[in-house]
A and B are shown apart, each in its own frame.
Chain A
Amino acid sequence: MFEALQERFGKVIKNLTGKGRLTEKNIADAVRQVKLSLLEADVNYKVVKDFIERVKSRVLGEEVLKSFTPEQQFIAAIRDELIGLLGGEQRRLNLVHRPSYIMLVGLQGSGKTTTAAKLAKKLKKEGLRPLLVAADVYRPAAIDQLEQLGKVIEVPVVTGDRKNPEKIVKEAQEIAVNRNHEVVILDTAGRLHIDDEMMEELSRVKELVRPDEILMVVDAMAGQDAVNSAKVFDERLDLTGFIVTKMDGDARGGVILSIHYVTGKPIKFVGVGEKIDDLEPFYPDRVASRILGMGDVLSLIDKLEASMDAEKMKEMESKLKRLEFDLNDFREQLIQLKKMGSLAEVMSMIPGAPSVDAVKGEENMKKALAILDSMTPQERRNPRIINHSRKLRIAKGSGTTVNDVNRLLKNYEEFQKMMKQFKSNRRLLRKFGLNI
């Protein structure tokens, strides 16, 4: 995510280092570079123009602090303005009525149906009883799609007569009340914002359910026109926010940096993957930090907490404390890490982490797991018993070479040494957040 922007911003900042003071002249090039990088990232042209003006007036104006270096000043200004573009504070769903309605709207192919299922799963996890409504009667098999997704996440789907969106919605209203569903999610058909008739249909559905949330689903890869369609949807339906999808397609940030600024409506969630769990709340400050290559430790912790078993974490921690961390635990760690998502994604959240060859990293991880899986529990508990013939067996079983097995064992040894050193330096560990 945001690699392109990150890289280009990095260069800009580097070029400013060593400048004594920021002047109109010496920031001219930096400003031009920022402008180009934002444009190449599909940020709307008018948004870029305003953004540049604001950054310029800030760094050249009175708001500059003397104790900052020029590049710090520049970064601070850009970060603040980025957060502003992204919407400032994180904004949650505002579900006040019972039942509460959430309408998902948007252009064709933005990912509404998948998002409806993701959102239902999320709300279910939070203890609510969601109901899904398949009101896309136009795209062939769109209703089947939602029905199938509903089965997977075990959320009921209302399909009504499969023909008339308003009728389907009315039926869903009855079911919601009768069966005590707290929240109803409406999947509507994709439509062009310039299609009057279809937009009118949405207004009628809106009138019918009076939704607490009417969210436009927008493809993160959209270009300059995204703001136009968002503006029209907002004007006609008075949106309460956006969900930006396909953020995992090396999204450049253009859409998320433009739509809030143009409509004044917040981005509430982002879709970050193909799995039904891959919907995350949107945090403007964290995203701004990430765009500037400052990492996003907070999201990393969220991810850790969401994917790791709390009990296991505690167990692991106490094992680390007593230096009892054996290969069984190492294997467990790798399995947990795999659950967190792609390695590249995880690394990108760590500030200053070197950019890894994601594919190679994943392969190495897979290899390590295969090797560990081919060991007996006994061998994992006490790797010292692994002699040459055992190594041969492990290599054969995991489809690797003895060299690979040796490398893994050596890494483990070094890790243990490191832990011993760490133990003698607890302060350092605490710095890493491990309370030992």
Chain B
Amino acid sequence: MGLMDLLKKGLKKTREGFFERIASALKGSKLDEATLEEVEELLILADVGAETAHEIVEMIKERYREAQDDPLEIAKKVLTEILEGDATISSPEKPPLVISVVGVNGTGKTTTIAKLGYLFKSQGKDVVFAAADTFRAAAIEQIKTWGERIGATVISQHMGADAGAVAYDAVSHAVSKGKDVVIIDTAGRLHTKHNLMEELKKVHRVVSKILPGAPHEVLLVIDATTGQNGLVQATKFKEAVEVTGIVVTKLDGTAKGGVVIPIRHKLGIPIKFIGFGEGMEDLKPFSARDFVEALFD
């Protein structure tokens, strides 16, 4: 199955009903106030947020005034332009590449790490998982199970251990054994908990001490079912740890994940991956064009 098919499959539920309605509202029609209002309403229902939805509608209006193209095409263009960004994963001059995966509780960090690990494994890379979620009961067992399944080394300590120490161990293991990728599983933390955000900073500080420039990627996992709170999460995590990219998970439900649009639009953080299923291969690099095309198709 090609990438587009996978995307379409995963986004099928998203497309049905929602963007289909936008599409039919826009397709070939004249752009009148009623249509625009409907578009705005649909964007809000997709969790784009009232403010950004309004801005997008204004942009569509503006473009339409300039050139009376097909309104649907204009809308696609506007959304693609907003969402476009560098989705590549940076590669350091010398391995290991260190990726820290962060986010609030329950967004699917550990599953995403397993999928990321699988992706790197399939590229022939040696992968190390750092079980740095030492807070949640059985989080270590969870990452260990995944490590076994996909053949990644898991570096762990006991529950309640210092997360920074675990990350440190994992990175030094990777450096000395010449492994290619280290993925750090951090504990879920609400962005409102000052102490936990400080702890996360510390984990990164410790890692950068042993390997300057690491972590090279800090991926924030956003649950597609999240509302405008997602924008606050992104803001706070970015303030604390310089988030380099977003992973949107759970796009296989009926949620639209529209909150990534204001996240990209207002904070400038690129979306790097999308997750849309329980299977190991259900994680793909994000492409704005494919994403928007698949939505409207």
CB of A124 to closest CB in B, whole Å: 18
B228 touches A194 (CB 8 A): no
Q: How far is the CA of A36 from the CA of B50 in the complex (A)?
A: 7
Q: Smallest CB-CB separation from B108: which chain A residue?
A: A109
Number of chain A interface residues as a range: 35 or more
A252 in the interface (beta carbon within 8 A): yes
Q: How far is the CA of A111 from the CA of B108 in the complex (A)?
A: 12
Chain A 232-252 interface mask (CB, 8 Å, partner B; 1/0) = 000000000000001011111
CB of B13 to closest CB in A, whole Å: 6
B105 in the interface (beta carbon within 8 A): yes
Q: Smallest CB-CB separation from A358: which chain B residue?
A: B194
Q: Smallest CB-CB separation from A36: which chain B residue?
A: B50
A401 in the interface (beta carbon within 8 A): no
Chain A hits for B194, CB < 8 A = 358-359
Q: Smallest CB-CB separation from B136: which chain A residue?
A: A145
Stretch at the interface among A10-18, A40-48, A346-354: A40-48
Chain A hits for B141, CB < 8 A = 140-141, 144-145
Given A229-B253, A248-B192, also A223-B226 (CB < 8 A): yes
Chain B 273-291 interface mask (CB, 8 Å, partner A; 1/0) = 0000000000000000000
**SS of B interface (majority):** loop
A148 touches B229 (CB 8 A): no
| 8 A Cβ contacts from B134-154 to A | 136-142, 144-146
Given A109-B106, A144-B137, also A40-B50 (CB < 8 A): yes
Given A107-B253, A224-B45, also A141-B225 (CB < 8 A): no
Chain A hits for B9, CB < 8 A = none
| 8 A Cβ contacts from A195-233 to B | 219, 221-226, 228-229
A149 in the interface (beta carbon within 8 A): yes
A228 touches B138 (CB 8 A): no
A39 touches B44 (CB 8 A): yes
Chain A hits for B193, CB < 8 A = 248, 274
Chain B hits for A392, CB < 8 A = none
Chain B hits for A251, CB < 8 A = 229
Q: B13, B108, B226, B253: which has the most chain A beta carbons within 10 Å? A: B253
A192 in the interface (beta carbon within 8 A): yes
B230 in the interface (beta carbon within 8 A): yes
B108 touches A108 (CB 8 A): yes
Q: Smallest CB-CB separation from A39: which chain B residue?
A: B50
B217 in the interface (beta carbon within 8 A): no
Give residues in B with beta carbon < 8 Å to A: 13, 41, 44-47, 49-51, 104-108, 136-142, 144-146, 159, 190-194, 223, 225-230, 232-233, 250, 252-256, 258-259
In the A-B complex, the 8 residue pairs with the closest CB atoms: A223-B227, A109-B106, A42-B227, A145-B138, A141-B141, A144-B138, A141-B142, A140-B145
Give residues in A with beta carbon < 8 Å to B: 36, 39-42, 45, 107-111, 139-149, 152, 192-194, 219, 221-226, 228-229, 246, 248-252, 254-255, 274, 358-359
